[in-house]
């Protein structure tokens, strides 16, 4: 069997997320069906992780195995020609047969864009947040989340994932002209975790609370203790490292 790794970008606005679901339009389904059309073969397309409905990707990784030896350049061109305009395969490479896009991933990085003024050109890919943001203050608050923690309070209620322990390597808030950019790197994420972290940090900053407030939320292990999630449209899976 041949094993191929894909680097994928997509606009998730009109999709119910990455993972195939019943009665829903997903990115994984679109790519899997397109591969099947070309190879005339069912494949199991494995993503590095799920992205929720409305979330985008600049660097999603996936792999699939096939009996066919693929002409990579030709196959990449064919795949992009039949995929919808919201999905693009940036790169294809042959990898070791044991490579697994999800289980072999060491670090996943997300970025989130926040606009500080109403713009018709930013609304689709950023969250318009009218309150003034101080990145230095938010960077200070974020430090308490770095390291290994139980992120139950930042996950959706009734999550099927039993292990709620994640290791966050870094969180950075940065002011870049018209946008505030939030960046987080971790080994894994729970459902809704990134957007809840952002919403909670913004709420903590607004109320002028300190790090002890964040510590209390972590300790409670209760979703109701944390703040509201920010909208999905500003979130991008930035890159996956192996």
Cβ atoms of residues 57 and 12 within 8 Å: yes
What's the whole-number mean pLDDT along residues 7-24?
A: 95
Query: Residue 104 burial by CB count (10 A; 0-12/13-18/19+): exposed, middle or buried?
Result: middle
**CATH fold match for the domains 2-95 and 112-241:** yes
Q: Is the dihedral of CA 119, 125, 130, 131 positive or negative?
A: negative
The domain ranges of the chain are 2-95, 112-241
Residue-wise pLDDT for 218-236, tens only, equals 999 999 999 999 999 999 9
Residue-wise pLDDT for 131-152, tens only, equals 999 999 999 999 999 999 999 9
Q: Which of 67, 69, 18 is nearest to 45 (CA)?
A: 18
Output DSSP code: residue 186. Answer: E
Gyration radius from the chain CA atoms? 19
CATH number of 2-95: 3.30.70.580
Give the separation between CA 75 and CA 56, rounded to whole angstroms. 24
Catalytic residues: 52
Return phi, psi of residue 95, to 5°. -125, 170
Q: Give the pLDDT of residue 161.
A: 79
Q: Does domain 112-241 have CATH number 3.30.70.660?
A: yes
Q: Give the pLDDT of residue 49.
A: 94
**E-only strand ranges, the chain:** 2-10, 46-47, 56-66, 87-95, 107-115, 127-128, 147-150, 165-176, 179-186, 235-241
Q: Which of 55, 52, 61 is nearest to 192 (CA)?
A: 52
Residue 178 has pLDDT above 90, yes or no: no
Q: Give the pLDDT of residue 185.
A: 98
Q: Give the pLDDT of residue 177.
A: 82
Judged by DSSP in three states, 207 sits in coil
Residue 158 has pLDDT above 80, yes or no: no
What's the whole-number mean pLDDT along residues 214-218?
A: 97
What's the whole-number mean pLDDT along residues 18-41?
A: 96
Residue 160 has pLDDT above 80, yes or no: no
Residue-wise pLDDT for 45-103, tens only, equals 999 999 999 999 999 999 999 998 999 999 999 999 999 999 999 999 999 999 999 99
Give the separation between CA 87 and CA 84, rounded to whole angstroms. 6
Residue-wise pLDDT for 95-128, tens only, equals 999 999 999 999 999 999 999 998 999 999 999 9
> Who wins on pLDDT, 159 or 30?
30
Binned at pLDDT 50, 70 and 90, residue 157 comes out as: confident
Give the separation between CA 64 and CA 55, rounded to whole angstroms. 22
């Amino acid at each position: 069997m041949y094993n191929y790794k894909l680097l994928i970008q997509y606009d998730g606005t009109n999709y119910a997320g990455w993972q195939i679901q019943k009665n829903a339009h997903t990115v994984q389904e679109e790519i899997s069906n397109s591969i099947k059309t070309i190879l005339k073969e069912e494949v199991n397309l494995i993503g590095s992780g799920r992205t929720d409905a409305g979330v985008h990707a600049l660097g999603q990784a996936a792999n699939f195995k096939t009996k066919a030896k693929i002409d990579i350049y030709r196959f990449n061109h064919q795949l992009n020609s039949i995929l919808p305009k919201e999905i693009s395969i940036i790169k294809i490479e042959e990898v070791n047969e044991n490579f697994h896009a999800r289980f072999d991933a060491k670090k996943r990085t997300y970025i989130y864009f926040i606009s500080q003024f109403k713009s018709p050109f930013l609304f689709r890919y950023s969250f318009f947040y009218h309150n003034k943001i101080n990145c230095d203050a938010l960077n200070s608050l974020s430090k308490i989340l770095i390291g290994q923690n139980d992120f139950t309070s930042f996950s959706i209620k009734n999550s099927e994932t039993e292990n709620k322990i994640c290791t966050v390597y870094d969180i950075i808030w940065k002011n870049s002209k018209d946008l505030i950019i939030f960046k987080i790197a971790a080994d894994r994420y729970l459902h809704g975790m990134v957007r809840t972290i952002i919403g909670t940090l913004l709420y903590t900053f607004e109320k002028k609370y300190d790090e002890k407030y964040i510590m209390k939320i972590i300790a409670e292990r209760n979703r109701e203790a944390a703040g509201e999630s920010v909208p999905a449209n500003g979130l991008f899976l930035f890159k996956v490292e192996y």
